[in-house]
Amino acid sequence: MIEIEVPASCANLGPGFDCLGIALSLSNIVRFEPAEKTQIKGCPMEWADEDNLFLRSLRHSCELLQTSVPKISAEIITSIPPARGLGSSASLAVAGAAAALLLSGKTAKSLKDLANTAVGTVTSLGTEVDMMDDAVGDTETEFNLRAYTGTEVDRTCLTRFLHEEENQRFLLRAATDIEGHADNAAPAIYGGFTAAALTDKGIVISQNPAPEHWQFMAFIPDFILETSVARNALPDSYSRQDVVHGISHAALVALAFLKADLNLLSCACSDRIHEPYRRPLIPDFDIVKTACLEQGAKMICISGSGPTIMAIFETSVPKAPIIASSTTKSLNEVLEKRIAEKATHNWIALPLNVDNLGIRARKIFTNNLRRHSQNE
């Protein structure tokens, strides 16, 4: 059995509409193995059919790879809340493409012509990130993944396999075909902070590890906002002034991440392209924003198409003074209390860290899983 884990993502980051994104420490997991017929579990019944996003991506990716669609039994373990602007759909699209790639036996070299993706500067993940995911268990698996030489791959290297340059390109191309834009798929694959653009030559992607001392806080409400609704709220055209404002501020956001400069980020996060039009679709937005600013947030933006609101603090300790009775409480507890006093909806303040690795995979063994389930 193979397990694929894909992180959540915050797209746009203020003015970087449809191009900037960052991977965060929340993820969806898909476990799968060959089966006599395709079946899927772990998701709501209305999504457990052929239209399931993971299966749609699997089929599309197999078409790109020019291989037959395998019959698999898959389980989806969802931690990323759907329709909240945290890249849940992108994570499943990426997982489906990765599953197709792992099952195809294709090599990175053979994918060169299939990827149809131009790649810019992709910063190396470096030696500090361990990409070797050890297998779990004590028996062999049925999969027959092959490396570039055509020999069987050591299954402890699945993450490294997916992070080979041509494989990343393929995953990005396949997932973007499904999503329509790359701002969530790119960080889900590459990890860290990413900028992606659709060009005549394909998708140009640049990645850089994001500052790990920044504390992200996701404010997740008890209601959803469908991406289609959020996109329909946007105007068909913009003034030159608003376009220039967006370009300049998106450039500053990118520089702020590269320089790990929160003060610059605080000045750069203003947006006129999507947030003014989506804000009315998110009840309590101003209440959440005010509470965050009072506790020293450096940046506050709508995550993706919403309704989640993302705030960034320099550390997990707020810079601004907190009321005396709350000094022993964590930042998210303080913020939840402040917001609940005035909000019309329930909001969860979820602390998150940067995920600088991106997609990961490992081999797990059925016997081990069975024993683990029995122990639970």
Structural contact between residues 2 and 363, judged by C-beta atoms closer than 8 angstroms: yes
Residue-range definition of the domain harbouring residue 308? 215-234+274-352
The confidence score (pLDDT) of residue 235 equals 97
Within a domain: 251: no
pLDDT tens per residue across span 195-246 = 999 888 888 999 999 988 899 999 999 999 999 999 999 999 999 999 999 9
The confidence score (pLDDT) of residue 238 equals 97
Same domain, 149 and 222: no
Same domain, 152 and 285: no
Specify the amino acid at residue 353.
Answer: N
Same domain, 156 and 114: yes
Residue 37: which CATH number?
Answer: 3.30.230.10
pLDDT tens per residue across span 331-370 = 899 999 999 999 999 999 999 999 999 999 988 765 545 4
Same domain, 360 and 347: no
Same domain, 170 and 37: yes
Say yes or no to pLDDT of 75 above 50: yes
Same domain, 280 and 371: no
Say yes or no to pLDDT of 138 above 50: no
Within a domain: 29: yes
As beta bridge partners, residue 202 has 199
The confidence score (pLDDT) of residue 29 equals 96
The confidence score (pLDDT) of residue 253 equals 97
Say yes or no to pLDDT of 127 above 70: no
Within a domain: 101: yes
Residue 339: which CATH number?
Answer: 3.30.70.890
Same domain, 60 and 194: yes
The confidence score (pLDDT) of residue 186 equals 97
pLDDT tens per residue across span 21-58 = 999 999 999 999 989 999 888 876 666 667 889 999 99
Same domain, 360 and 317: no
Confidence class of residue 153 from pLDDT cuts 50, 70 and 90?
very low
Same domain, 367 and 297: no
Q: And the tokens for 218?
A: 């996701």
Same domain, 370 and 327: no
The confidence score (pLDDT) of residue 47 equals 63
Number of domains, the chain: 2
Same domain, 347 and 359: no
